[in-house]
Every structure is written in structure tokens, then in C-alpha cells.
Amino acid sequence: MELLFLGTGAGVPAKERNVSSVALQLLDERGATWLFDCGEATQHQILHTAIRPRRIEHIFITHLHGDHLFGLPGLLGSRSFQSGETPLTVFGPKGIRAFVETALSVSGTRLRYELNIAEIEEGVIFDDERFQVIAKRLDHGMPSYGFRVVEKDLPGPLLVERLQALGVRPGPIYQEIKQGKTVVLDDGTVIDGREFVGPPQKGRIVAVLGDTRFCEAAIELARDADVVVHEATFAAAEQRLAHDYFHSTTTDAAEVARRAGAKRLILTHISSRYQGAAALQLVAEARSVFPNTELAVDFASFSIPRG
């Protein structure tokens, strides 16, 4: 599991930062990539990475402002020409369907894969045997959502050394034991599989939040998360400006992570007014509230280990 930032700027593209998009790489977990937002030129940014568009399984759009959305039609169209044949689902606020269908229709774009569009409300928006995604509405000038990605706990590891000490050799019986079944060996010995499986491995939690003022919904989504991705459009001294434009400061983001008991904070959606040393000052401000804070830049990647 890894976060790869494709665009970390706010509002308009800049030389150092493209507009918003971040990829959650789930290659080991499900052989797929999930995108969160798809600002203008996201597919150009992808060209500089190892991401394969055909492996993009889900795209989550936080809100319908252009810097989070305008790259979507182009990416969807190009995926057809890059061996993309598997289904893809776009999740987003009401209006996302009209935007995508109109763009594809007017441009005469025909997709070679099944495209599903889900207009979301608060609650569980995705759930399968490995992952659950929860959405909550944040505090922005238009409907904007944050997403909580929860990896479900994995079964504990098979205690192979203990089995071998009993003379149980590898084979199909190992799978039965790992499933916690009771098995009978050739010599009549009865083994309770539950006694030979370690404790479950705790799943990881990633919170990716759209544009927002400081709000309780952000804290709830970030609760005990391994990583929180939060906008920090403005420096701490610009609190009034941030509030007026429905955005967050560095210390707003840090306070969300602190109150949520999160393990790690990554700042993104940085205004182009902060370049060089000024950008470094942003992360210093956040660290004064939440020490384990990092500042995302385009193409930065962050692994998310277990534990």
C-alpha cells in the first residue's frame, strides 16, 4: 500500500505543482490503483510514474471544482487505448454523472470498458471482502467529501514451526488448519486449527480529505488513521483568508490529525504563493501542532506499512 501524489497544488497548475490528484497503490492487496481526484493533466503526470491506467479500478472525486475534476474525461478516454478493458467506477457528488456523460458524448468518446458512475451521499459507498470506503461531507463552498479507506483485518499467519514440530508436513492440510478447521492426522491425532494460527493482522486506515474548513467530519474520518491526507492551502497566519475561501491552514490540518489520534499527516493542495523556503515553513507550522507531518510534492510517494 502506497500513496503517490500526482498533483499537490491548489486552484491552477503551477510550475512546481500540478492540480489535485493522488493515487493509492494497492498492487499487492488487489492488483489495482485507486485515484482520488483527477485535476487537469493528471494523465500527463501519470506518464512520469509506474502507474498503469488499465489498473485504475476506482476514481473518487471529492468535489466538482475544476482543479479536482477537469482531467477526468481525458483519462477515461485514454484508458481505452492503453489496454484498459476491466470495469472502472467513478464515485463523486451529485452532478458527476452529468459531467462525465456530457463530456464523453459531446467529444464522441467511446469506451472499450464498462464505466460505472456512482453519485454518493454520506455513509459506506464501497464494501467488499478486503476494503470498505466511508464518505462524509466536509465544510466547503460546494458539496465536498472526505473518504476513509479501511482495510479489513487479515487472518493471522499460520504457525508453521509449531506444526512441523508435531510432524505435520506441508500440503493441503495446511490450508484447512489456517481456516481454523479441526483436522485429523493419519495417526489419529486431532488438531484444532485455531490453536495454530497467530492473531489477526490489523488492517490499515487511510483518510483522504477534499477541500474543507476545519470541521468535525474531517476528524471523524481521520480517527486512528495510519495516514491522513489533508489540504493546507494557506499558512497559519492566513486563517481569515482560509475561512473566507472555505479552506484550511497548516495548523487546521494538524489539529485534525491531533484530535483524531492519527499516526501520520501529509499536507497537500498548497497555494502557489508558497514556493521554496515558504513551502518548508508550512510543514514547520504543522509540526508545531502534530510532529509527524510531511509535505507532499508532485511525484512524492509514501509507503503505508502494517502496524
Which pLDDT band holds residue 189 (cuts at 50, 70, 90)? confident
> Is 211 marked within a binding site?
yes
Reported pTM: 0.92
Domain locations along the chain:
1-153+200-301, 158-193
Q: What is the pLDDT of residue 167?
A: 86
> Is 58 marked within a binding site?
no
> Is 252 marked within a binding site?
no
pLDDT in tens, 100-141: 999 999 999 999 999 999 999 999 999 999 999 999 999 999
> Is 127 marked within a binding site?
no
Active site residues: 67
* DSSP one-letter string for the chain: -EEEEEE-BSSS--SS--SSEEEEEEHHHHSEEEEE---TTHHHHHTTSS--GGGEEEEE-----GGGTTTHHHHHHHHHTTT--S-EEEEESTTHHHHHHHHHHHTT---SS-EEEEE--SEEEEE-SSEEEEEEE-SSSS--EEEEEEEPPBPPPB-HHHHHHTT--SSHHHHHHHTT-EEE-TTS-EEEGGGGB-PPBPPPEEEEE-S--S-HHHHHHHTT-SEEEEE--B-GGGHHHHHHTT--BHHHHHHHHHHHT-S-EEEE-B-TT--THHHHHHHHHHHTT-SSEEE--TT-EEE----
* Architecture of the CATH domain 1-153+200-301: 4-Layer Sandwich (3.60)
